[in-house]
Amino acid sequence: MKELLTGNLPVSFLIGGREYHISSDFRAMLRLEEIFSSEELTDEEKAERALKLFYGCIPEPLEEAVERLCYFWGCGRQEDKRHGKAAGADFYQLPIYSFTHDAGLIYGAFLTQYGIDLSRKSLHWWQFMALFEALEEDRVLKEVMRCRAVEIKGDMPQAQKDYYNAMKRRYALPLPEQEERQQSALVTALMGDGKVDEVMACMKKK
């Protein structure tokens, strides 16, 4: 993201020979994540809403428009740090933060470390992410992220295991509705009130 130093942050893209101004503020990108995580929208509806949010319309060619959106969302680099992992990492790795669920912690961290009131300040998405990634380790948000990310290993002292298990329960991010229903059904089955085979077959179709 050398553009952060040169001041040439993207605010428009050339697609199909036409220039399209984009919604570059961080709030638009947070809304974009809400769209893609929605359980109520179809994939087609998500794509349509995302493009209209980002460009104000649906540019052509569509493939190029989507590529530029993804490039912007990834802050112009190959690594995807929005969910605490690099490109190519395990797709099923659990996220360690949520812009929606952790909104209060993020707001507080920006206010105390940078003096930035996110409810009043406009920030380019790339600026927001650079500041987010540079948050100091003593922020509550960073401790919460560490607790979510830590792998509880067998050779850990029992007190440490107990601590991280408690913190993981305390700071657990909400599961998507479908996954939560499946997990609940599995627990019910294991308790003897359902059929495990049917639940597992359902999960495999996911």
Tell me: the pLDDT tens digits for 9-36? 999 999 999 999 999 999 999 999 888 8
Q: Where are the domains of the chain?
A: 1-136, 176-206
CA distance 46 to 67: 15
Is the peptide bond between 61 and the residue preceding it cis, with omega within 30 degrees of 0?
Answer: yes
DSSP state of 192: I
pTM of the model: 0.73
pLDDT tens for residues 175-193?
A: 655 544 544 454 454 444 5
Q: Which tops the pLDDT comparison, 152 or 110?
A: 110
pLDDT of residue 68: 93
CA distance 164 to 151: 9
Q: Which of 54, 67, 60, 173 is nearest to 125 (CA)?
A: 54
Neighbours of 18 (CB within 10 A): 9
Locus of tokens 């495990």:
196
